[in-house]
Amino acid sequence: MNTLVTHAQTQSRRIVAAAVSAALLAIAAPVAAQAADTAPLAQDGFDRTTSSGWGTAPTGGSWSVIGGSGSSTAGSAATVKDIQAGRSLRANLAGVKAGDVDVSSAFRVPSAKEFYFSVEGRRQADGAAYRGRARIAANGELKTDVVRVTAAGEKVLAMDTTGMEVAPGQDVSVELEVTGTSPVTVKTRTWLSGGTVPAWAVAYTDTADNRITGAGSVGLWAYNTPGNNPISVSATEFSSSAVDTTPPPTPTPTPTPTGTPTAPTDPTTSPSPTGSPSTPTNGTEGSGEPEAPLPMPTRGSLPIGQASYPVAAGAVFVSPSGSDTAAGTQAAPLATVTKALSKVKSGGQVVLRGGTYREYFIVPPGKDVAIQNYPGEAVWFDGSSPVTGFKASGSHWAVSGWTAQFDSSPTYTKGEPDGTTAGWQFINPAKPMAAHPDAVWVDGVEQAQVGSTSALKPGTFYVDYATKKLYLGSDPAGKKVEASTMAQAVSLRAPGTVLRGLGFRRFADSVWMQGVITSYYTNQTIENVVVQDPATAGIGLFKEGSTIRNVTITGAGQIALQASYADGLMVDNVLIDHANDEGFNPAPSAGGFKVTTTRGITLKNSEIRNTTGNQFWTDQSTYDINVLNNYLHDGSRWGIVLEISSTATVAGNVIANNAHDGVMVSDTDKVNIWNNTIVGNKRAAIALVQDSRRIEQLSVSGHDKRRPQPDLTMPWITRGTTVGNNIMTGGSTDGADPILRVSSWEKVFDGNEMLASSNGNVFSQTAVGAPKYVTIWSRKGANAPSYATMFNYTTATGQDKASYNHIGASPVDSSYRPVADVKAQLAAVAQPLPAGVASKLGDAPSTQALGAWR
């Protein structure tokens, strides 16, 4: 049977890989025939002058030209004059013989109502040939076709539109590739000369009995349709080369400890500092009036000082001006939380009056109390202290007697050095001071730490532990200098503790401490809390049943929020901003919010932005994951990563402008991805990938040891995924990244095994071929094909038959609402919300919408 299919192809060999097995996942790009890195078979720029015929090409031999009233070359163009309506021209290099061949040419658009220009490959003595045809309609629309010519006539095998209009006098390029014999694969593309070369627009796998299998010559063909005036046709260049059909080798995943996929190269475009999608249309595309901009909801904690909780009778009071010898009443407050916890009874309250506290406190077992601010008063726990007494020291300034020292162990084990295995190193060599918790602020501006006095310059500082000196690279005269003097703020050890209405800033925690606020006990509640500028981690929770609600974490040096063995964790209305600002390697554990070995995690109504690393990441056998109604944007890597996990719902989210894929599902089964707006990410909107890891491999890191081993309910296989009602744009336009990627690196799964169903989605491209592919689709036992058009993708896979291919500017406005053209497709495209997804979102199962609810 003849089948439509397109494949990735460039003129030179290319392997696209990314590491996923822990920190390294080999992502092998779809492999197709590649143009050989050899001398061309034919090449001609027509840089000569002839009065009769086109003469001899510098490479390829003599031209044979038929048609028109005459032919000539001049001014870097080869011309055939006076081609009558209904007649054609043919130019051929009979001396070139090739079977697997690439042929390209460019022509100048003539003044004609409709016109055809083709390049030919495998031309036989009887005139049979394959053509890659540029077709210009009467309205100037540029289209492209694959054609087979035989003695029986011409047969159009595949066609598509470029989405462009051209005008007389413009130069247009057309390219054809023919490979194989059983079957024969024929591909073509057409574009404005000098512009970006697009993906193959159409391709055809020819299995017909009259397919052309023998080597043949190459050349050109053009046709002036009936009803036109006589025209002249000029070609401006021609080239042909053999195609090497031997696929490049596919990299094998390197077994390493569990981590995040990383790409072979970093993006060349930095994430936008705003959350807006690229080229927003403000709702003006299509018909209808533009809607007023709708701001994103404000997420995170109330500003410190605005929370107001009732004060219970018998509460114990604390004030910066209090005394630990006082009674702890409102009239006679204590000075420290530690003293208050010694007085308060289980189930009671510790109420803090406004001001700044410099204290680390432990909530001991049996003190399951609420620790909160006094209504409407600002309470800050500050891990820094003012520093004075700096004196000039050469070109620097120094203060003596500096005794604050912190452990700089780079791993989760105190005193253990960094790893040496690729993908298992915490420290990026470009950021050697990342694990050093010391921090200094000059007039509120954080300074960068350096490792010696010789590295000092304005905006930096150095701490010499041996001589107990703190050095500044900027003159502190007349400025306020503050430096961290405390490592941690709170250890929650009483199940049922409530921490609310408080701020924590500038604590110098080490990596192994796992947070400024930590709990290894159950059922903690953290609410309306701000954690600002922690040296490494913000909050760490490592037991069941906790809730984080209305919390803001900004400027975390390594990771803002982390959880492990935290079954039933609820994270609601959290803001995470600029996490990993010290620049730790994103793997094994740095970024916005990471969850491992947890059964039941919900992240909802939250915003994670500007992360150096992954914004949200589950790993190491996390089960029952719900990511609902969040805004994840402008991160340096993935928006969402679900890795060696199981059973997830990702719904109602805006996932925008991240430097890698919007959503990466790696070795994770039963994922429902519904009604998300996934736009402006630099790679795929959704990537479903599978590497070599399996739950049966007990030596591989990432098993939940609380479960029977191996836990066959969690196979570490990407399968059973459903995708519906998402609005999606693709990533880069350089050929590597589609809108939807489904890839099994070891070629052990077909795409339809990994993706159970996909429908009702909006696949948005700025133009056909931008991005180059709609999908890359896994094929069992074979290289993954790439589909450049929705038609080819849906025909080949049976997926997304009701989905909509939006061609043009952004499919959403500046508020991430669908533009008019997309909204008009709602009734025809959107699928009813599955009952399981609807129940998590609190919607009716029959709800139909496109993208996130805005």
CA-CA distances (angstroms) from residue 214 to 90, 121, 245?
20, 10, 16
Percent of the chain surpassing pLDDT 90: 75
Tokens 């037991």, residue?
543
**In this predicted structure, what is the pLDDT of residue 288?**
42
Q: How far apart are CA 604 and CA 600, in angstroms?
A: 13
**In this predicted structure, what is the pLDDT of residue 566?**
97
Length of the chain as a residue count:
854
Helix (H) or strand (E) holding 105: strand 101-108
CATH topology of domain 522-841: Pectate Lyase C-like (2.160.20)
**In this predicted structure, what is the pLDDT of residue 124?**
94
- Which of 62, 123, 70 is closest to 97 using CA atoms? 123
Q: How far apart are CA 23 and CA 586, in angstroms?
A: 9
Query: With 0-12 CB in 10 A as exposed, 13-18 as middle and 19+ as buried, what is 331?
Result: exposed
**In this predicted structure, what is the pLDDT of residue 767?**
84
Q: Would you say the C-alpha torsion 221, 227, 233, 235 has a positive or negative sign?
A: negative
Does the domain made of 42-244 have the CATH classification 2.60.120.200? yes
Helix (H) or strand (E) holding 835: helix 835-841
Q: Is 277 left (phi over 0), alpha (psi -120 to 50) or beta?
A: beta
Q: Average pLDDT, whole number, for the chain?
A: 87
- Which of 301, 225, 238, 247 is closest to 60 using CA atoms? 238
Question: Are the CB atoms for 35 and 12 separated by under 8 Å?
Answer: yes
Question: Are the CB atoms for 573 and 606 separated by under 8 Å?
Answer: yes
CA-CA distances (angstroms) from residue 286 to 343, 675, 802, 812, 818?
67, 22, 20, 12, 11
Tokens 């107990």, residue?
468
Low-confidence residues in the chain, pLDDT < 70: 1-39, 194-196, 245-290, 732-736
Strand partners, 156: 147
**In this predicted structure, what is the pLDDT of residue 7?**
27
Q: How far apart are CA 495 and CA 492, in angstroms?
A: 8
Same CATH fold, 522-841 and 42-244?
no
Q: Give the start-to-end residue ranges of the domains of the chain.
A: 42-244, 316-382, 522-841
Q: Would you say the C-alpha torsion 393, 399, 405, 406 has a positive or negative sign?
A: negative
The two three-digit tokens of residue 479, written as one number: 């400025």
**In this predicted structure, what is the pLDDT of residue 492?**
95
Q: pLDDT per residue over 36-64, tens digit each? A: 334 578 888 887 899 999 999 988 999 99
Q: pLDDT per residue over 179-191, tens digit each? A: 999 999 999 999 8
